[in-house]
Structure 1
């Protein structure tokens, strides 16, 4: 058995962000990348699959570095109604419900659902918008504990105001408040379209209505006879030639 997959020559999203660090991605490109991820996750969830390890190092770029595809399904599993393995994924991108404040025995499971992927997506989106490291200066265990015990989240200081409330809803502590990826795709599509330059519309041509007049209207026989009679009454005017006027000037002198 062989599994043939597409060769993604653009490397991982994480390495790409590292290569341009201290510079921000163009906002339209950031949202375009987020849209690619959201559509892929929408497809997974529609087919009953939870990724459980969504992060920049598991997102692959096309060769032209214009599109992102979701990879690495090593921790993915089918959605079930019962409990699943807890603390599954990578700490900085893991949803709070995957942790426990108390120490758990090995093999203990917890209940959570597909909304853990939405939380991880919010962390990735924050990185796309800021190109900064998540919880910089903290080790992974400290980040996990802070997210659970103190409900800490990344700073919104450099996040566009129009998208900040949406981002907060995606990383909400309560999974029920987090949107579905179908809603995320719809929101990001509209937001992305609002960033595109609006096409110029040519000015409308104004139609000028010509005033009604007797010109062009049919004349009755009486009207025609009246006009011809009036013309015959007019005496032709004498036209003085240029030469006579010119010579009269000398005669006067």
Structure 2
């Protein structure tokens, strides 16, 4: 449950954890809350939600900066079926990748990367990563499935229940897979595996089924394919993803600049041709105006000549 409030004379978001009374919370719930506060309070990145304060008693409360643009998921839903232009999608993707690159460089796995955990600024120009409730350090053992089935990496999901005390074996590359599905949603403005219930969507990825790449911009297809590879070791690091996104954006902007320059050159050439045609027309009209005057002089000469003969 999230509320807006003012703290130190600035707008903030207040997240109240359930149950509202700390005394009723389980040890696991308290541990998760403490972990989220510890992780978020250490984060210093332009594309990660800023920690403001936290309280344990009488209620577990997390206070962060207020992102007035709401979640990316909600914004996509409101604009459906319209989609973002490719440049805007890639701009968001670059900021997400940079935030995840920072997390991984600091030894943190998010484990629940999805549009619902990405918040927009008021002008919708920038995006920030939020919700570190299930985040873990690289050194932590993964004891269960974590995240959202629809965006979950195949190695995180178990087809059969884990035996008691068994551990999951996956690492930070699970975030890369979730990034791929998030980027696909961002470009298409569709939910991955929308015709399947959440659990069945996870079974689909486990069986190496991926969302359709038909009609997607060809520039982005290789990146998606590499990020959602079944083998986590074959997926790129976020540093590589960031570099790829920058390169794609540079190519797009370079092409636009070249196209614009070509349009300007064509317009300039057409204008020059038009001026030359106008000059030729004016010269032709001037010559036409002069010709009758010459004929008139000749006529007057012959008239004078005839009068002299008559005399």
TM-score range, shorter chain: 0.7 to 0.9
Q: List runs of 5+ in structure 1 lacking aligned partners.
A: 204-248
Tell me which residue corresponds to 2:222. Answer: 165
Taking the aligned partners of 1:49 and 1:144, their CA distance within structure 2 comes to 23
The answer as to 2:229 corresponding to 1:178 is no
Structure whose alpha-carbon radius of gyration is higher: 1
1:132-147 to 2 correspondences below 5 Å? 132-147=190-205
Of 191-200 and 118-127, the range deviating more from structure 2? 191-200
The answer as to 2:84 corresponding to 1:22 is no
Taking the aligned partners of 1:2 and 1:87, their CA distance within structure 2 comes to 29
The answer as to 2:94 corresponding to 1:32 is no
Taking the aligned partners of 1:88 and 1:193, their CA distance within structure 2 comes to 36
Q: Which structure carries more strand by proportion?
A: 2
Taking the aligned partners of 2:164 and 2:90, their CA distance within structure 1 comes to 40
Determine if contact 1:97/1:112 at 8 Å carries over to the other structure. Answer: yes
1:126 is aligned, of 167, 173, 184, to 184
1:59 is aligned, of 94, 104, 118, to 118
**How far does residue 159 in structure 1 lie from its aligned partner after superposition?**
1.4
Taking the aligned partners of 2:92 and 2:157, their CA distance within structure 1 comes to 28
Q: Which structure carries more helix by proportion?
A: 2
Taking the aligned partners of 2:198 and 2:165, their CA distance within structure 1 comes to 21
Determine if contact 1:94/1:120 at 8 Å carries over to the other structure. Answer: yes
1:102-251 to 2 correspondences below 5 Å? 102-105=160-163, 108-148=166-206, 150-196=207-253, 197-198=256-257, 200=261
**How far does residue 102 in structure 1 lie from its aligned partner after superposition?**
2.4
Q: List runs of 5+ in structure 2 lacking aligned partners.
A: 1-51, 55-62, 266-303
**How far does residue 10 in structure 1 lie from its aligned partner after superposition?**
0.3
> Over aligned residue pairs, what C-alpha RMSD do you find?
2.2
Higher-RCO chain (CA-CA 8 Å, sequence separation at least 6): 1
Determine if contact 2:177/2:228 at 8 Å carries over to the other structure. Answer: yes
TM-score (norm 2): 0.62
2:158 is aligned, of 75, 97, 100, to 100
**How far does residue 107 in structure 1 lie from its aligned partner after superposition?**
5.0
Determine if contact 1:130/1:158 at 8 Å carries over to the other structure. Answer: no
Determine if contact 1:115/1:175 at 8 Å carries over to the other structure. Answer: yes
Secondary structure at the aligned position of 2:131 is classed as coil
1:2 is aligned, of 27, 50, 53, to 53
Secondary structure at the aligned position of 1:44 is classed as helix
Label 1:106 to 1:9 Cα distance change in 2 as closer, same or farther (>3 A).
farther
2:134 is aligned, of 70, 75, 96, to 75
